[in-house]
Each structure stands twice: as C-alpha cells, then as structure tokens.
Amino acid sequence: MHEAAITRAPTAAGVRPRPDGAGRRLLRGLRGNVAVLAALSVVLLLAALAVAAPFLPIANPNTIATSERLQWGRTSDHPLGTDEFGRDLLSRLIWGGRVSLLAGVGSMAGALVAGTTLGLAAGFYGGRLDHWIMRGAEILQAFPYILLAIALVAALGPGLFHAMLAITIVGMPIYIRLIRGAVLAIREHDYVQAARAMGARNRRIVGQHILPNVLAPIIVTGTLDIGAKIVATSGLSFLGLGTQPPTADWGTMLANGQQFLSVAPHVATLPGLAVFVVVLSFNLVGDWLRDALDPRLRGA
C-alpha cells in the first residue's frame, strides 16, 4: 500500500522523476556561484582575445619605439604603458596570452592524448605491456616536475615547441595512472564482458564501452591541469628556455621586466598578474566541473 502510494504520487501530480544528468548538475553548480561565473567569463574572454588578436585595433606587439620606453599611465597610445623597448604592453599582453594559452592548452592536450592512449593500452591489455608502461611512468614521476622538463629542453634546445614537448612528456604519467586505474575497474563490468561475449573487437570495446566511461575524470583532470601547464610553460620561458625574443609570452615578459622593477614595476607585474588570474580561473572552472561531473573526487 505504502509503495503504491509512493509510485503513484508523482504521476498524479504530473511530475516524473528525471535523471540528474551532468548538464543539470553543471547548471545547478553555476547558480549563484559568482566566483565560477567570473572565472568562466575570464576564460572565455581570454580565448576570444587569443583568437581575435590579429584583427584587434591594437599596436604591433614587436614595434620598437625607444623614445617611448618604460612609459606608465593612461597615455592615449598605450593604455597599459610600454616595456623597455617602448613596445605597447597591452598589445604584448594580448599576443603573449595567445602564446601562453596555446602553450598551456597544447601541452595539456598532448599529455592527455598520449597519457590516455597509454593508460588505455596498459589497463586493457595488461601483462607485459602494462608492466613496461607503468615502469616508464614511474621513472618519469621520479623526477621533480620542472627538473625533467629542464633536462629535456637542455637536450632539445630552447624554444616554445620544445618547452611544450617537454611539459607534455613530463605531464603524461598523471593521465596514464588515472586512465589505467579507471579501465581496470571498468573492464570487469558486465556490459564489457557482454560485449566481448557478443564478439565485439577490442577497438569497439575500448571506443564504445570503456572510453565514454572514463571521459568525466579525463575532462576534470584536463581542465584542472591547464593552469598547471600554463605556469610550467611560462616558468620555462621565464628561465629563458621557452619562447624566444622577440615573440611575446607572459613568462619572457616577466623575466625581462624584472630588471626594471624599481623604475617600471608594471612591466613585470602585469604579465604575472595575467598568469595568476588565468590559472585561478582555470582552477575554479576545474573545481566546478569536478563537482558536477565526478562528485567522487569532490574535496580531492
């Protein structure tokens, strides 16, 4: 009697229980959350600026004007002042953001794709392949993060692409471990066994049954990782091992500006502030995604 009342009640009211999907959880997490809304706006604005940089009515970021060096204040031509070569700082920040964002997202994407592929292979096939992939990941993780990246850049030579490649390689083990663990848990589930019994090929099992189920942790970890990758690639540029002059990049701008800290603090502080705001925004967005897509990781 009691059970019948429970099942009938929603129907009588015209309300059917709806599954609590990821989209609804995402929207619920956004409601009233000013910090995440602000962070999302920053990320979207930065992405828009990065894409639109060549079409914006801003000065050429590499045009040198020594007579206008180290200016600060709201002059008509340079809203954020100029650097040690008289180059427009606003323009360099926008173009530098394009490079820094590309470096961060590119290294994250590289580490994610390579790490996910290796993690899937290790978890799905197991055996000797799993053993060697995991030993490789262990060795990579045995190095302090930036140290191995520095050693790799030392070998490859300084430059943005080499810095991105180094950060990609160093960043792979996180994804390998994450995905391998998830695959080991999923591959024993009934639906995977059923697919296998029905004669599905390995590629189909991985693509249709395993990969969709590990997507949530991949998306969450990837978003949280973008900030770390922007800091890492900017860090290498700051050390002189990443982007090379005259290309604008937040890390190199910061390193060059440090020499003029006493006379023109804005040259070093503005690019650093940009890195900080962007990383903070990605961390907030990542936390929001994690809470909505992978609640088991909440508070991790």
Partner 1 sequence: MRGGAFLAQRLVALVWVLLGISIVVFLVLRLTPGDPAMLLLGPVATVDDLSRLRRELGLTAPLYVQYALWLGRVLHGDFGRSITMHRPVLAEAFLKLKATALLTGAALLVSSVVGIAAGVLAGWRRNSAADRLSMLLALVGVSVPVFWLGIVLIYVFSVWLRLLPAGGMHSPFGGGPLDTLAHLILPAVTLGAASSGIVARITRSSVLEVVHQDYMRTARAKGLRDGQVLRRHGLKNALIPVITIIGVQMGFLLSGAILTETVFSWPGIGTMLVTAILSRDFPTVQGGVLLVAGLFVLVNLATDLSYTLLDPRIRYES
Q: Contact positions toward partner 1, by CB under 8 A?
A: 135-136, 138-140, 142-148, 150-157, 227, 231, 234-235, 238-241, 251, 254-255, 257-258, 261-262, 265, 268-269, 272-273, 275-276, 279-280, 283-284, 299
Closer CB to partner 1, 16 or 296, in the complex: 296
Spatial separation of the C-alpha atoms in residues 71 and 192, rounded to whole Å? 64
Rounded to a whole number of angstroms, the minimum distance from the CB of residue 298 to partner 1 is 10
Residue type, 161: F
Closer CB to partner 1, 48 or 263, in the complex: 263
Spatial separation of the C-alpha atoms in residues 238 and 240, rounded to whole Å? 5
Rounded to a whole number of angstroms, the minimum distance from the CB of residue 275 to partner 1 is 5
Closer CB to partner 1, 61 or 235, in the complex: 235
Alpha helices in the chain (DSSP H): 2-13, 22-30, 34-52, 89-125, 127-141, 145-156, 160-186, 190-197, 202-204, 211-238, 250-258, 266-293
Rounded to a whole number of angstroms, the minimum distance from the CB of residue 290 to partner 1 is 14
Which residue, among 81, 80, 79, has the nearest Cα to 70 in the 3D structure? Answer: 81
Spatial separation of the C-alpha atoms in residues 201 and 191, rounded to whole Å? 14
Q: How many CB atoms lie within 10 A of CB 176?
A: 27
Closer CB to partner 1, 36 or 205, in the complex: 36
Residue 88, beta-bridge partner list: 82
Whether 173 contacts 119, CB under 8 Å: no
Rounded to a whole number of angstroms, the minimum distance from the CB of residue 71 to partner 1 is 18
For 236, the token pair is 């290498």
Rounded to a whole number of angstroms, the minimum distance from the CB of residue 85 to partner 1 is 19
Rounded to a whole number of angstroms, the minimum distance from the CB of residue 150 to partner 1 is 6
Closer CB to partner 1, 124 or 238, in the complex: 238
Rounded to a whole number of angstroms, the minimum distance from the CB of residue 136 to partner 1 is 8
Residue 82, beta-bridge partner list: 88
Determine the Cα angle at 293 with ends 287 and 299, to 5°.
Answer: 40
Closer CB to partner 1, 152 or 164, in the complex: 152
Which residue, among 298, 294, 293, 245, has the nearest Cα to 24 in the 3D structure? Answer: 293
Spatial separation of the C-alpha atoms in residues 107 and 163, rounded to whole Å? 9
Please tell me what DSSP assigns to residue 216: H
Closer CB to partner 1, 152 or 178, in the complex: 152
